Structure 1
């Protein structure tokens, strides 16, 4: 039996932190389309069940068209059984009020709910040795402030089954949960869990739970901000129903990828120097086919020390790379540096100004900023405040 485990899709996210309104609207449609493509992938690859471990939607502010599309796509793939556990971002169940809920969409609530994922093995046949299939069981519960600490004692699993448990929250090793989104892994050890299907953490993670099972965060289906760089997709679980053996594989599936590229531009004299340094690092990190590069969202963080007389135009730099990528942002994390020896024998007004500032009782950063601003003013250039 093949199962997809996904989470944190966050449909209808605003996405306006970095993108303009038009690109944000396009990006929301792309994320919805990735959800649609995932169901097509499931149908084409003999997947029988899809587990959504929370945060299918981003908030209560969900468009009717998005809800209708989700329900319509699930109904269209009637060969799949879809199990949806709501997360902390998801709206209440009333979001589906007045709509036809597909028969193949299954939900959870604040009590443990158990689903048999495969055709149940015949108990009498199993005892006689004529049916060696394993029962594959999915258990899930929506965590709340009321039930967050008692769910562990109430979980009931059979050792002989292949047990998948789905929860939405942040892992913690020991202790009681202080908020509904905390999951105590220690209390889930030695409970007969083969695969703990989690949601809430936006980067893929797969670790050993105990001698028997593993816990897995598939990460979000698509990265939305620069705290979600790297590959995104879902987990594909393949279970041998005869032996209960389980194989898992992360499937990269996002339409776009986000990159945060760090470039040290120490020693650069002007914007073209910086552009050359960025290009060398950027095109090495963002590799792949040309259309993949054009899909990428890139944050370029420039670091290092710059001489106060260097003229670096960050807007110019962004324009140099805009045509190559879907979105480019330049983050300036450089430090201004002053070389006192350059001005020791400078008899001009500039030299006198620099020496005067260097003698002041203030931080080196403030001195560098004041010197840079003064030098630009003396040259008749535009001056801006930080």
Structure 2
């Protein structure tokens, strides 16, 4: 069994535009720290080979300290490291990949066509290809067939959507590739292991979220690969998660609902809370609420999707189908034995009014 670490989509030196400048700079520093955690993981897990499937950098603009730490961290792993540039960090003579002095254990693929690097000591051949422009619509694996000795592995940035303009690798090409494992990058959500034909493949997702389209734990895959079988372990590496929640006011004060939802002690995560449900006449003061709760998480964004509480029975005297419905339901409410039954009747009225008024939302 060959032990392999598969990572992708680090997007180092991302701008983090949604955060204040000082926190954006802090997040970039934390991304650099991620490289050290990655190197520690390689050593602690006994990894023999590292595959990095592109978009390691967010753009060709990279801070000097990031470039230095990247080369040092990859070199400290002490095992072969293969990197396939993606659409954000595509290879060109001006790219950081062409300017950085890389350690001997690091191999950067720099051609659009797949190339092979045999590793006899590990009993495998590693294939890879690079983006050489911000997009590529050609099918990288079209007509490709791995013929190397031992395990046949490939690292590639691309999309399994056949018509995608970012290196499409459709299922038929994967099945015909002759690969034992295809390490993909581009999709920022971990896919789990997949098998197409005799080829296993996966996206590890990004190891550190950058926005609320990248929620939850983020990390890399540690794989054990042999002929015909792959075992995967997801290793979370992120310093902070992006957490998205909804808070239904249900007529209660927004401050009370938010206080109950947020963690009691300061969270290292970035939170976005959407206030929903019915409220009184006064709209929630988002700025005041954020100030009240700012010590409870690293960052907090609030959105107001509440609705003014409607009087359920206002149209009961109308000479309409709605009025007839409300009068009938009012009798049921008056006959209810307890508050629980009254609440059930009111809920039924909300759904009934939504149907009569052709609304999707019963509230």
Q: Structure 1 length as normaliser, TM-score?
A: 0.73
CA 117–332 in structure 1, closer or farther in 2 if over 3 Å, else same: farther
Q: Which residue of the other structure, out of 261, 272, 277, is the alignment partner of 1:281? A: 261
Partner of 2:275: 302
Kindly tell me the number of residue pairs found equivalent between the two proteins: 311
TM-aligned CA deviation for residue 72 of structure 1: 2.2
TM-aligned CA deviation for residue 181 of structure 1: 3.4
Partner of 1:9: 10
TM-aligned CA deviation for residue 179 of structure 1: 1.8
Once the two structures are superposed, residues 311-367 of structure 1 have per-residue CA deviations (whole angstroms, 9 ceiling, x without a partner) of 5221222123211211111111222344387899xxxxxxxxxxxxxxxxxxxxxxx
Q: Which residue of the other structure, out of 228, 231, 237, is the alignment partner of 2:217? A: 231
Which runs of 5 or more residues in structure 2 are unaligned?
A: 317-363
Q: Which residue of the other structure, out of 128, 134, 141, is the alignment partner of 1:140? A: 128
CA 56–252 in structure 1, closer or farther in 2 if over 3 Å, else same: same
Is residue 212–residue 242 contact of structure 2 (8 Å, CA) maintained in 1? yes
TM-aligned CA deviation for residue 56 of structure 1: 0.5
Is residue 55–residue 89 contact of structure 1 (8 Å, CA) maintained in 2? yes
Is residue 7–residue 207 contact of structure 2 (8 Å, CA) maintained in 1? yes
**Corresponding position: 1:187 with 2:189:** no
CA 90–100 in structure 1, closer or farther in 2 if over 3 Å, else same: same
TM-aligned CA deviation for residue 64 of structure 1: 1.9
Partner of 2:117: 115
Within 1, Cα distance between the matches of 2:167 and 2:20?
32
Q: 3-state DSSP class of the match of 2:192?
A: strand
CA 150–328 in structure 1, closer or farther in 2 if over 3 Å, else same: closer
Partner of 1:155: 144
Is residue 261–residue 300 contact of structure 1 (8 Å, CA) maintained in 2? yes
**Corresponding position: 1:255 with 2:254:** no
**Corresponding position: 1:86 with 2:85:** yes
Which runs of 5 or more residues in structure 1 are unaligned?
A: 121-134, 345-386
Is residue 144–residue 180 contact of structure 1 (8 Å, CA) maintained in 2? no
Q: Structure 2 length as normaliser, TM-score?
A: 0.77
- Cα root mean square deviation, aligned: 2.7
Partner of 1:75: 75
CA 210–113 in structure 1, closer or farther in 2 if over 3 Å, else same: same
Is residue 90–residue 130 contact of structure 2 (8 Å, CA) maintained in 1? no
Partner of 1:331: 303
CA 278–98 in structure 1, closer or farther in 2 if over 3 Å, else same: closer
TM-aligned CA deviation for residue 42 of structure 1: 0.5
**Corresponding position: 1:66 with 2:52:** no
